[in-house]
Amino acid sequence: EVQLVESGGNLVQPGGSLRLSCAASGFAFSRYAMSWVRQAPGKGLQWVSAMSATGGSTYFADSLKGRFTISRDNSMNTLYLQMNSLRAEDTAVYYCAKVKDSSTWYEGGFDNWGQGTLVTVSS
Amino acid sequence: DIQMTQSPSSLSAFVGDRVTITCRAGQSISTYLNWYQQKPGKAPKLLIYAASTLESGVPSRFSGSGSGTDFTLTISSLQPEDFATYYCQQSYGTPPTFGQGTKVGIK
């Protein structure tokens, strides 16, 4: 059974930093691209960032470039999201999601999601 | 970015009703369209990918159709467990983008 477990969400002040983790199990983690998708309270879904299976390529939403960094440790089956210069509008539940098709980083949709971790940016 | 627009934003229906949700893309996306179901406090769940392929384990009362810019998600006979918010998502261009969601409520 595929499991994705996010952690690291917390209350942080504007301008602060946070690192999220996503521990994966139940599938060949090193074969799949992974994404982060967020959902602000009461709002819809917004794709944030993705990393290819090998870690050689990264992708970001334009609005987040320069503030967020994505990385992965295939030996630990873990995906990370480093978030810097956090703003109130970054407040959201952050989900990690596995791409369905191992040959691409986004086609075919996201077939497995974690339970999410809440990031609150507030003074 | 490819804009995805769902309609309606919300609807109310009875158990047993046939429900249709529409998703329109801002440009042609072939059949690179996926549908998700999300219940309150839970992660989204993939229902349909490539516009019309049912994800494993998803009940056959769910179906998807369309290509190009216009797509539909149909629930043939609404069940109590289907009351949720539904999102479409395009996987044709980057970044992947989602519709704003359609909340299906109880009438």
Contact A121, A88 (CB under 8 A): yes
Q: What per-residue confidence (pLDDT) applies to A53?
A: 95
Q: What per-residue confidence (pLDDT) applies to A103?
A: 87
Give Cβ neighbours of residue A70 (< 8 Å, ≥ 6 apart).
A36, A49, A50, A51, A58, A60, A79, A80, A81, A82
Write the pLDDT tens digit of every residue in A30-49. 999 999 999 999 999 999 99
**Under an 8 A CB cutoff, do B46 and A116 touch?**
no
pLDDT category, A56, cuts 50, 70, 90? very high
**Under an 8 A CB cutoff, do B98 and A62 touch?**
no
pLDDT category, A107, cuts 50, 70, 90? confident
Chain A: residue nearest B101 by CA? A44
Determine the residue type at A123: S
pLDDT category, B9, cuts 50, 70, 90? very high
B107 or A14, higher pLDDT:
A14
- Choose among A44, A110, A116: nearest Cβ to B100: A44
Chain B: residue nearest A101 by CA? B49
Q: What per-residue confidence (pLDDT) applies to B34?
A: 98
Q: Which of B33, B34, B56, B58 to mutate to test the interface with A (most CBs of A within 10 A)?
A: B34
**B101 CB near a chain A CB, below 8 Å?**
yes
Helix, strand, coil percent content, chain A, rounded in steps of 5? 5, 50, 45
